[in-house]
Amino acid sequence: MPVLPISRMGADILKHRADDVVDAAAPAVASLVNDMIETMIDAKGVGLAAPQVGVGQRVVIFFVPAERNGSVEVPLTVMINPVIEPLTGVQAEQFEACLSVPSLTGKVPRWTKIRYSFTDLSGQKVVREADDFHARVVQHECDHLDGVLYPQRMKDMRTLAFVDVLQAEAIAKGKAVKVDEEGAPIE
């Protein structure tokens, strides 16, 4: 299982809607997922979409650490052809980071509660509800399937910053900045 190169902002594969997966149980999909898992772990991310590794298919993997989700861990999840439905009109802005936009972070509005459905690797349909950070991760990763990167969702581009600059400024002010697995400040 090789670690795959991660496409960065500007790459054509990240600008277009990914194709639906016809057979979620196909061996090629399982092989792709295994490579994506290795790549995500190596990059210290919490999620990865197939377009980020150069594959234009609607495949997402993610997990949510308990410390970011009210002590409730969401284990590694593989989503094929996911669909998201907002369950509230409420959005919250928080910092996000992305493996395809390295070293940067910015505040992004996201639905605070969603329902999402997908097909798993065995071909079974799964439906879940999520809120807060869990909902944010799912929305962020699924955006990749539609050719959207988080800076395109930002309402105030003044919040787009290099993580190291935010950390240095916080230290200069006598504050500590805690960052998540991908480098986004935790508010």
Q: What's the total number of domains in the chain?
A: 1
- Mean pLDDT lowest among 20-24, 64-68, 153-157, 179-183: 179-183
Strands (E), 90-139: 91-98, 101-111, 113-119, 125-131
Which pTM value belongs to this model? 0.94
SS3 content of the chain, % helix, strand, coil (to 5): 30, 35, 35
* Across 140-151, average pLDDT: 98
The closest alpha carbon to 136, from 62, 80, 66, belongs to 62
pLDDT tens per residue, range 5-42: 999 999 999 999 999 999 999 999 999 999 999 999 99
- Mean pLDDT lowest among 97-111, 136-150, 166-180: 166-180
* Across 82-107, average pLDDT: 97
First to last CA, the chain: 36
* Across 96-125, average pLDDT: 97
CA 39 from centroid of its chain's CA atoms: 14
Q: Is residue 180 part of a domain?
A: no
Q: Is residue 6 part of a domain?
A: no
Q: Which of 38, 73, 141, 169 is catalytic?
A: 141
Would you state the pLDDT for residue 166? Answer: 87
Q: Is residue 7 part of a domain?
A: no
In the structure, what pLDDT confidence band is assigned to residue 181 with cuts at 50, 70 and 90? low
Res 179 pLDDT > 80 = no
In the structure, what pLDDT confidence band is assigned to residue 182 with cuts at 50, 70 and 90? low
Q: Is residue 22 part of a domain?
A: yes
Give residue 86's domain range.
Answer: 12-172
141 is catalytic: yes
Res 167 pLDDT > 90 = no
CATH number of the domain to which 45 belongs? 3.90.45.10
